[in-house]
């Protein structure tokens, strides 16, 4: 149904197509957003009331309200108490009314398998607010001064106790430094290692090579990649790499999901002893193990050879920017010095709030809740693959908030990822995390931390339909069957 939105300039035609599988609310969003981007709706233009526009379009008022709320959140509309909602003043768009329309426009994201992100809707906001209030009430005035760059003494003590209890770490409060997540932790450690002559640092491939490599190069060192197989880091390849430090994810390798085998754990420790080297253990999601208790930290076996970096980015939220590094005694002063030069220490109120949250038992309670929820999502993903794509294998399931889906041999991984995104499913290929991806082993990394069960099931069905198209057409470049997409999206609540 087409209706005219009267404006002070030219009239704007809104046309909602009920035969289009795209939900009506998303059609409305797209058309209004496009009109603002191209200048057809001018800055300051008053928008119709949700009731009036809903009546003109013959849709529910809730759909119009949701559309306005989304465009307000994105900055296309502005609203002030006591006045009408209006179009925001936008910089001149590069797009013009005369610009050609792309022949193929990606569909809105219906399902996102974003990896490395926890459920942002289940953050314990109430507990965190309580902990902040408690910290504000009880923190002595003196602790609001410039403090110890290594971190709040109370948090360091609580973290040491937690890591001894949960990760079997060999640690005291003096061994802990508080940092702003893994990204800062690896920068500080790399700077300290390069300064003492350990200037070649290895990382896993596939893995977090971009983050680690940038940190090592910024410190003046050299980063080298070492392959990962079904047992974890290949220690023999590490031994010939020339590195004297290696960053590993032994509890749940990122992103393949394999657990470093007992044999490799011992080989890795022997390598560190042989080359007078250091192991940097990234404990990014060690709390989430499903088949048994989490594998203990490598640091507990050789505290003089292992640096352990952990964060609350997966257990609570990345936006808190709170993490820690457990350091050998001889490296602690250099890392603390680097931290002091970087920012003089993390915000003391947030540190004390985390200490209160952990010591109160509320942190453990949240972890139990999330472990159960992520376990249900993992099971739902496995069941969905078994139902809709039974020929495919899923791996990396022992722990964490992502899994690996193995595509049929011969599938072009990059092309498939692009086609999936064009049809509404956002997913990453394993090659994105690798400097030397194997085209003969196409894989998808499916994050389920921030994806609910209904979305997981729908996303797997959409991927299965696309795979069927690839198999029948012999290529991953065909158009998604319109009727199949419509059938899938019809089951998704608008």
DSSP string, 156-192: HHHHHHHHHHHH-----GGGEEEESHHHHHHHHHHHH
Look at residue 465 in the predicted model and tell me its pLDDT.
Answer: 92
Average pLDDT estimate for 269-291: 91
Average pLDDT estimate for 307-320: 96
Taking CA 248 as the corner, what is the angle to CA 247 and CA 254, rounded to the nearest 5 degrees? 120
Lowest model confidence (mean pLDDT) among 92-106, 237-251, 306-320, 451-465: 92-106
Task: Check pLDDT > 60 for residue 483.
Answer: no
Look at residues 373, 374, 372 and name the one whose alpha carbon lies nearest to residue 397. 374
Contact 326, 307 (CB under 8 A): yes
Higher model confidence: residue 6 or residue 236?
A: 236
Look at residue 2 in the predicted model and tell me its pLDDT.
Answer: 53
Task: Check pLDDT > 80 for residue 471.
Answer: no
Domains of the chain, earliest start first: 2-87 (1.10.10.10), 111-117+365-490 (3.90.1150.10), 125-360 (3.40.640.10)
What average pLDDT does the structure give for the chain? 87
Look at residues 215, 213, 212, 207 and name the one whose alpha carbon lies nearest to residue 234. 207
pLDDT band at 477 (very low <50, low <70, confident <90, very high): very low
Look at residue 72 in the predicted model and tell me its pLDDT.
Answer: 81
pLDDT in tens, 329-384: 999 999 999 999 999 999 999 999 999 999 999 999 999 999 999 999 999 999 99
pTM of the model as a whole: 0.74
CA dihedral (311, 313, 317, 318) in degrees, to 10, reads: 120
* CA separation for the pair 219, 380 (Å, rounded): 43
Higher model confidence: residue 471 or residue 375?
A: 375
Look at residue 443 in the predicted model and tell me its pLDDT.
Answer: 96
Average pLDDT estimate for 269-286: 94
Lowest model confidence (mean pLDDT) among 22-26, 83-87, 100-104, 128-132: 100-104
Burial readout 194-212 (b: 16 or more C-beta within 10 A, e: otherwise) = beeebbbbbbbbbbbbebb
Task: Check pLDDT > 50 for residue 311.
Answer: yes
Task: Check pLDDT > 80 for residue 197.
Answer: yes
Burial class of 64 by CB neighbour count within 10 A (0 to 12, 13 to 18, 19+): buried
Look at residue 51 in the predicted model and tell me its pLDDT.
Answer: 86
Look at residue 442 in the predicted model and tell me its pLDDT.
Answer: 95
Average pLDDT estimate for 385-404: 94
The span from the first CA to the last CA of the chain, in angstroms, equals 18
The SS3 of residue 148 is coil
Task: Check pLDDT > 90 for residue 288.
Answer: no
* CA separation for the pair 76, 335 (Å, rounded): 45
Average pLDDT estimate for 184-194: 97
Look at residue 479 in the predicted model and tell me its pLDDT.
Answer: 37
Task: Check pLDDT > 80 for residue 93.
Answer: no
Locate 176 and state its tokens.
């802990």
Task: Check pLDDT > 60 for residue 478.
Answer: no
Beta strands 402-406 and 443-447, pairing class: antiparallel
Average pLDDT estimate for 172-184: 97
Higher model confidence: residue 3 or residue 101?
A: 3
pLDDT in tens, 107-165: 688 899 999 899 999 999 999 999 999 999 999 999 899 989 999 999 999 999 999 99
Lowest model confidence (mean pLDDT) among 89-103, 125-139, 283-297, 311-325: 89-103
* CA separation for the pair 170, 178 (Å, rounded): 17
Look at residues 445, 455, 467 and name the one whose alpha carbon lies nearest to residue 491. 455
pLDDT band at 181 (very low <50, low <70, confident <90, very high): very high
Higher model confidence: residue 364 or residue 100?
A: 364
Contact 255, 400 (CB under 8 A): no
* CA separation for the pair 121, 450 (Å, rounded): 8
Task: Check pLDDT > 80 for residue 493.
Answer: no
pLDDT in tens, 400-444: 999 999 999 999 999 999 999 988 999 999 999 998 777 889 999
Higher model confidence: residue 20 or residue 224?
A: 224
């Amino acid at each position: 149904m087409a209706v005219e939105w009267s404006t002070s300039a030219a009239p704007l035609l809104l046309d909602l197509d009920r035969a289009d599988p795209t939900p009506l609310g998303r059609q409305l969003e797209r058309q209004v957003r496009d009109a603002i981007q191209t200048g057809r709706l001018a800055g300051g233009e008053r928008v119709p009331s949700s009731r009036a526009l809903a009546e003109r379009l013959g849709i529910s008022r809730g759909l119009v309200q949701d559309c306005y709320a989304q465009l307000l959140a994105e900055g296309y509309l502005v609203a002030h108490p006591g006045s009408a909602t209006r179009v925001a003043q936008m910089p001149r768009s590069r797009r013009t009314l005369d610009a050609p329309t792309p022949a193929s426009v990606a569909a809105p994201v219906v399902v996102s398998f974003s990896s490395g992100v926890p459920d942002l809707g289940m953050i314990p906001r109430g507990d965190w607010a309580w902990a902040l209030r408690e910290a504000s009430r009880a923190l002595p005035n003196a602790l609001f001064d410039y403090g110890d760059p290594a971190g709040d003494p109370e948090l360091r003590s609580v973290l040491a106790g937690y890591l001894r209890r949960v990760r079997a770490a060999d640690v005291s409060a003096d061994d802990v430094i508080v940092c702003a997540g893994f990204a800062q932790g690896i920068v500080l450690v790399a700077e300290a290692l390069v300064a003492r002559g350990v200037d070649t640092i290895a990382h896993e491939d596939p893995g977090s090579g971009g983050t680690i490599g940038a940190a090592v190069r910024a410190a003046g060192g050299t980063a080298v990649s070492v392959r990962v197989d079904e047992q974890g880091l290949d220690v023999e390849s590490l031994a010939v790499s020339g590195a004297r430090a290696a960053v590993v994810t032994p509890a749940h390798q990122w992103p393949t999901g394999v657990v470093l085998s007992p044999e490799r754990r011992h080989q890795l420790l022997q390598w560190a002893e042989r080359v007078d080297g250091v192991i940097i253990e990234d404990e990014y999601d060690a709390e989430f193990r499903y088949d048994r208790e989490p594998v203990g930290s490598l640091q507990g076996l050789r505290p003089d050879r292992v640096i352990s970096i952990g964060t609350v980015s997966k257990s609570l939220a990345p936006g808190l920017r709170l993490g820690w590094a457990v350091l050998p005694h001889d490296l602690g002063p250099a890392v603390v010095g680097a931290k002091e030069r970087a920012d003089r220490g993390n915000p003391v109120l947030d540190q004390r709030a985390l200490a209160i949250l952990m010591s109160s038992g509320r942190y453990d309670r949240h972890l139990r809740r999330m472990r159960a929820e992520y376990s249900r999502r993992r099971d739902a993903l496995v069941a969905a693959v078994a139902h809709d794509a039974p020929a495919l294998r899923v791996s990396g399931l022992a722990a964490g908030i992502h899994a690996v889906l193995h595509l049929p041999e011969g599938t072009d991984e990059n092309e498939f990822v692009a086609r999936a995104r064009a049809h509404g499913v956002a997913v990453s290929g394993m090659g994105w995390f690798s400097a030397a991806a194997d085209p003969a082993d196409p894989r998808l990394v499916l994050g389920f931390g921030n994806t609910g069960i209904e979305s997981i099931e729908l996303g797997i069905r959409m991927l299965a339909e696309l795979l069927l198209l690839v198999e029948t057409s012999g290529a991953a470049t065909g158009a998604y069957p319109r009727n199949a997409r419509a059938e899938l999206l019809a089951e998704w609540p608008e």
